[in-house]
Structure 1
Amino acid sequence: MSLQTSRPQTSNPADEAAIRALYQQQLDGWNRGDGDAFAAPYTEDADFIGFDGTHLKGRREIASFHQMLFDKYLRGSRLVGKVRSVRFLTPDVAIMHAVGGTVMPGRSDLEPDRNSIHTIVAIKRNAEWRFTAFQNSRAQFVGRPELAQQLTEELRQLL
């Protein structure tokens, strides 16, 4: 039995740019209220975990669920987000961490209670990057209100 030490993978700038562009594509889909556009960056078999624990399976389910949200609860809302890091596990698999916040309809500022941390797994198949897993966690920072405020200020810079 041999034990191999894992080495960090080096990233290709074009691959990292493609992954970051998928995140922007998702934001743009939200901001147009378009479930299909929001889900377009995902693989057909993707896993999407929403802030409330909802587990969506596959691009179609992600699109349908988000279209319902856009039509009923989030019509006219705006999502802002920022990629904090992209780390390649292999040349064809990367983990991205991002943060996001929502401006609700009729408002001009973020709803700090809706700020989230995103963990996203991207994979490259047939020379094309797609998201295959997404975990959305509300940024509550229990007992550390200064961190919640810092995140809100970071996201406000995107407005």
Structure 2
Amino acid sequence: MTSKNHDTSRDGNEDAVRAAIASVYKGWADNDADAFVAAYGPDATATLPGSHLPSRNAIRATMAALFAGQLKGSRAQYEVQAIRFLGDDAAIVTSKGGVVLAGQTEPPAKEWARETWVLAKVNGRWQVEAFHNCPEHAA
């Protein structure tokens, strides 16, 4: 049995995957729901504690409402911890993220979450197909 080793630094895939995720967080920092979902595929899903959003439109509508309400003026911090490529056009990213509410300088320690992203390369562009997060620490 052989295994393929992908040189992601050579072909730019790792940088492109990181850029797609960074664009999501840039949209958050700007409290811009359209920019937030620009890197999401049309059928992307987001699963969060207590909710499942079945499409990019649902994710956009939810974030627009949150940016107008409880997340107004917020941003998120994140750390990509690993990127694993599944061939040339799919990647799984694990990260750690936390919400920084208006007036805060960093997320409270108990508010950090573990995140899993599934991205696909579609027409030469990396896009988010699925996002999942769960609390890093039990309540």
Q: Same fold (TM over 0.5)?
A: yes
Q: Helix, strand or coil: the match of 2:3?
A: coil
Higher Rg: 1
CA RMSD, Structure 1 to Structure 2 (Å): 1.6
- 2:33 is the alignment partner of 1:55: no
Q: Helix, strand or coil: the match of 2:43?
A: strand
Question: 2:19: which partner in 1?
Answer: 21
- 2:132 is the alignment partner of 1:140: no
Question: 1:68: which partner in 2?
Answer: 65
Q: 1:11 to 1:66 in 2, by over 3 A?
A: farther
Q: Within 5 A, what are the aligned runs for 1:1-159?
A: 5=1, 7-13=3-9, 14-50=12-48, 52-140=49-137
Q: 1:111 to 1:128 in 2, by over 3 A?
A: same
Q: Helix, strand or coil: the match of 2:86?
A: strand
Structure 1 runs (4+) greater than 6 angstroms displaced: none
Gaps of 5+ in 1: 143-159
Q: Which moves more between the two structures, 8-17 or 112-121?
A: 8-17
TM-score (norm 2): 0.91
Which structure shows the higher strand fraction?
Answer: 2
Q: Helix, strand or coil: the match of 1:33?
A: coil
Q: Helix, strand or coil: the match of 1:62?
A: helix
- 1:73-112 per-position Cα deviation (integer Å, ceiling 9, x unaligned): 0111121111111110111111001111122111223222
User: How far apart in 1 are the matches of 2:56 and 2:133?
Assistant: 16
Gaps of 5+ in 2: none
Shift of 1:57: 1.5
Q: How many residues align?
A: 137
User: How far apart in 1 are the matches of 2:54 and 2:2?
Assistant: 31
TM-score (norm 1): 0.80
Q: 1:58 to 1:109 in 2, by over 3 A?
A: same
Q: Percent identity?
A: 32
